[in-house]
Amino acid sequence: MTREKSSASLSGAFYALLRRDLLLAFRRRTELLFPVIFLLVVVSLFPLGIGPGPQLLARIAPGVIWIAALLATVISLDGLFRSDFEDGTLEQFVISGHPLTLISLAKICAHWLVAGLPIVLLCPLLALWMNLPVESLGVLMLTLALGTPVLSLIGSIGVGLTISLKRGGQLLSLLVFPLYVPILIIATAAVMAASDGLPYTQFLGLLTAGLITSVTLAPFAAAAALKISLS
C-alpha cells in the first residue's frame, strides 16, 4: 500500500516537475531559439570556410552536423539547473524530500525536449545544406535521436559540478567535451557507413547501449554533483 502510494507520488512529482520546466521554457520562447539558431549558424559557416564543393561537403557532413550538435547542446546546458539554483528552488526541492536523482532526471528530460529534440527535427535542413545523400539522412536522424539524450545526460553531471561557479560555462565545455568523444565517434561512423552503403545497425546498437547506460547512471552522478554544489 505505502510503497504503491510513494511510487505514485514519485512519478507524480516527476511529471509535475517536467511540466513546470517545459512551461517555463515556453514562456521564454526567444531564449529557447538561441541554441537552434546557433546550430544553423555554425553549420552554415562550414561551406563558407572550406568552399561549396558538394562532394567534400557530403564527406564531412556527418562530422560537421554532429560537432555543431555538441556545441549547441553545451551552449544550452548551462541553463539546465542555473535559474533553479540561483533562486533557491533547487534547495527547496531537496528540503521537500524528493530524491535529487528524480529531480535531475526530470530536468534532463525537459532539457532534451527543449534543446535536443529541435536538433533532431532540424537535421533534414542541415543535411540538405551539407549535401548529405538522402539515404543516410534517416540514419543521421536516428543517431541524433539516440545520441542527443546522452549528451544531455552526461552534460547534466558537468552542469551539476559547475553550477556554483559564476562563470561555469567556459569550464563546462572543458569538462564535458572529452566525455562526448565516444558518442561522436560512433554516431559519425554510423552515418559514414550508411553513406558508403555498409551495414550500420551495430553502431546504432552501440548508441542504444550508451543511451541505456547513461540513463541509468548519469542521473545519480548528476544528483551527487548537485549535492556537492549545494553543500
Partner 1 sequence: MTTETAIQNKPRKNALVMFIHKMGSPPWFYNFSGKLVPWLWAVFCSLAAWALYLGLFKAPADYLQGESFRIMYIHVPSAWMSMMIYTSMAIMGFIALVWRIRIVEVLAMSSAPVGAAFTFVALASGSLWGRPTWGTYWVWDARLTSELVLLFLYLGVIGLYNAIDEPRKAARAACLLAIVGAVNLPIIHYSVKWWNTLHQGSSISVTGGSNIDPSMLWPLLIMALAVKFYYGANLLTRARVRLLEQDKRKAWVRKVIGEDKS
Pick the stretch among 11-19, 26-34, 136-144, 183-191 that binds partner 1 (CB under 8 A).
183-191
Cα atoms found within 13 Å of the Cα of residue 105, Cβ hemisphere only: 18
Among 10, 125, 171, 212, binds partner 1 (CB under 8 A): 171
Pick the stretch among 25-33, 49-57, 84-92, 169-177 that binds partner 1 (CB under 8 A).
169-177
Pick the stretch among 23-31, 105-113, 125-133, 171-179 that binds partner 1 (CB under 8 A).
171-179
Nearest distance from C-beta of residue 101 to partner 1, angstroms? 14
Interface with partner 1, residue 77, by CB under 8 A: no
**Of 163, 183, 181, 179, which is closest to residue 171 (Cα–Cα)?**
163
Place of cell 548529405: 132
Interface with partner 1, residue 212, by CB under 8 A: no
| Gap between the Cα atoms of 202 and 192, Å rounded | 13
Interface with partner 1, residue 174, by CB under 8 A: yes
| Gap between the Cα atoms of 223 and 160, Å rounded | 7
Between CA 6 and CA 11, with CA 7 as vertex, the angle to 5 degrees is: 120
Nearest distance from C-beta of residue 228 to partner 1, angstroms? 5
| Gap between the Cα atoms of 45 and 141, Å rounded | 21
| Gap between the Cα atoms of 123 and 40, Å rounded | 10
**Closest CB to partner 1 among residues 17, 184:** 184
What residues line the site for partner 1 (CB under 8 A)?
A: 157-158, 161-162, 164-165, 168, 171, 174-175, 177-179, 181-182, 185-186, 189, 217, 221, 224-225, 228-229, 231
